[in-house]
Amino acid sequence: MPVMSYIQAVTTALKEEMQRDEKVFVLGEDVGKKGGVFRATDGLYDEFGEYRVLDTPLAESAIAGVGIGAAMYGMRPVAEMQFADFIMPAVNQIISEASRIRYRSNNDWNCPITIRAPYGGGVHGALYHSQSVEAVFANQPGLKIVMPSTPYDVKGLLKASIRDNDPVLFFEHKRAYRLLKGDVPEDDYVLPIGKADVKREGSDITIITYGLCVHFALQAAEKLAEEGIDAHILDLRTIYPLDEESIIEAAKKTGKVLLITEDNKEGSIIGEVAAIIAENCLFDLDAPIQRLAGPNIPSMPYAPTMEKYFMVNPDKVEKAMRELAEF
């Protein structure tokens, strides 16, 4: 089985979907000749030509809106936002339009667009190249938000997103692009959107998280295992709509729950996860629900001292896990 990086899994999924279905096309800033600023669309321009790997003007609302129009026509656009931080001009198109097209037309029209965007910090990206923006979109029924943590999940979930008949936001952790490598089967598999995945079975504490933090939790879990603390790790994978059943099951399994996000703590998606657990698992809990997240400041600063202070990292995760285990 080939080993590939997180970003190679993105490129592979795009390429295979474009080979499979000629309605699939990519549009965004610098995605064509250059192959994307992160090289996520590397080689696609040469293979599929200018119009299926379209360099658009620098205008995010048009990238989303033109994609939405093409999707209503029957194409399968994959729009790229160069950084998740720059999705803001397209919010009206994504929330007022894409998310509501099926609903407002009483199921007459639909909008099968995938919008990919690199998010996340720890890359010296400062305020506007580091953010987690999922919470902006995570209370908009009609949208789906996928945030995979491994190359294997990237390929299977990006293919599923492109084939989905509703709009999907697909957030890729930019630090994971080259940091993470893993086995990715060559075959044409898809993974279910809306299903969380147990990344580690354990019996003492439950960690529920997504994206790069899954790896921080896995690393910390290995260390803690040496101390006899056995962590159960649930990767949300789809953060909207949430997989309530898996969340409840994971919380009940150990009765001690730590929720982790790289986003600001306040109003982040893990607040909703906490509410689901509070509603459903009160009598199964042996400790208050714990949250580990970024501080409530606008975004992470550039200077390495302050960036490190903001970011979740394996040490912070390990500390939080140990404290919960000892509760």
Partner 1 sequence: MSKNRHEGLGLTDEQVLDMFKTMLLARKIDERMWLLNRAGKIPFVISCQGQEAAQVGASFALDREQDYVAPYYRDMGVVLAFGMTAKDLMLSGFAKNEDPNSGGRQMPGHFGQKKNRILTGSSPVTTQVPHAVGVALAAKMEKKDIVSFVTLGEGSSNQGDFHEGLNFAGVHKLPVITMVENNKYAISVPIERQLACEKVSDRAQGYGMPGVTVDGNDPLAVYEAVKEARDRAVKGDGPTLIEAVSYRLTAHSSDDDDRQYRESEEVEEAKKKDSIITFASYLKEVGILTDEVEKEINGEIGNLVNEATDYAENAPYADPEDALKFVYEA
Choosing from 15, 39, 88, 89, the residue that interacts with partner 1 (CB under 8 A) is: 89
Q: Which amino acid is present at 82?
A: Q
Tokens of 15: 């390429």
Among 31-39, 103-111, 115-123, 261-269, the segment contacting partner 1 (CB under 8 A): 103-111
Contact in structure between 208 and 236 (CB atoms under 8 Å): yes
Distance of alpha carbon 163 from the chain centroid: 17
Contact in structure between 159 and 14 (CB atoms under 8 Å): no
- Binding residue count for partner 1, defined by CB under 8 A: 44
107 is an interface residue for partner 1 by CB under 8 A: yes
237 is an interface residue for partner 1 by CB under 8 A: no
**Whose Cβ is closer to partner 1: residue 97's or residue 262's?**
97
Catalytic residue check, 129: yes
Among 137-145, 206-214, 216-224, 310-318, the segment contacting partner 1 (CB under 8 A): 137-145
Contact in structure between 24 and 18 (CB atoms under 8 Å): yes
Bridge partner list, 116: 80, 170
Among 12-20, 94-102, 211-219, 222-230, the segment contacting partner 1 (CB under 8 A): 94-102
144 is an interface residue for partner 1 by CB under 8 A: yes
DSSP per-residue string spanning 51-117: TTEEEPPS-HHHHHHHHHHHHHHT-EEEEE-SSGGGGGGGHIIIIIIGGGHHHHTTTS-----EEEE
**Whose Cβ is closer to partner 1: residue 94's or residue 231's?**
94
DSSP per-residue string spanning 109-165: -----EEEEEE--SSS-TTTSS---HHHHTT-BTBEEE---SHHHHHHHHHHHHH-S
Closest contact distance (angstroms) between CB of 50 and partner 1 is 10
Task: Name the burial class of residue 75, with classes exposed (0-12), middle (13-18) and buried (19+) by CB atoms within 10 angstroms of its CB.
Answer: middle
Q: Which residue shows structure tokens 């919380």?
A: 251
56 is an interface residue for partner 1 by CB under 8 A: yes
Run of H or E residues at 4: strand 3-5
**Whose Cβ is closer to partner 1: residue 95's or residue 179's?**
95
88 is an interface residue for partner 1 by CB under 8 A: no
87 is an interface residue for partner 1 by CB under 8 A: no
Choosing from 18, 26, 66, 260, the residue that interacts with partner 1 (CB under 8 A) is: 66
CA 51 → CA 11, 21, 27, 37, 96, distances in Å?
A: 17, 14, 9, 19, 27
295 is an interface residue for partner 1 by CB under 8 A: no
Task: Choose among 209, 200, 260: nearest CA to 232.
Answer: 200
Q: Report 164-193 residues binding partner 1 (CB under 8 A).
A: 164-166
Q: Are strands 144-146 and 168-173 parallel, antiparallel or unpaired?
A: parallel
**Whose Cβ is closer to partner 1: residue 143's or residue 311's?**
143
277 is an interface residue for partner 1 by CB under 8 A: no
93 is an interface residue for partner 1 by CB under 8 A: yes
301 is an interface residue for partner 1 by CB under 8 A: no
Cis omega (within 30 of 0) on the bond before 295? no
Choosing from 7, 18, 31, 71, the residue that interacts with partner 1 (CB under 8 A) is: 71
Among 65-73, 117-125, 150-158, 210-218, the segment contacting partner 1 (CB under 8 A): 65-73
Q: Report 23-42 residues binding partner 1 (CB under 8 A).
A: 25
Run of H or E residues at 234: strand 231-235
Identified catalytic residue from 124, 129, 173, 215? 129
Contact positions vs partner 1 (CB under 8 A): 25, 51-52, 54, 56-57, 59, 61-62, 64-75, 77, 89, 92-93, 96-97, 100-110, 141-142, 144, 164-166
Catalytic residues: 129
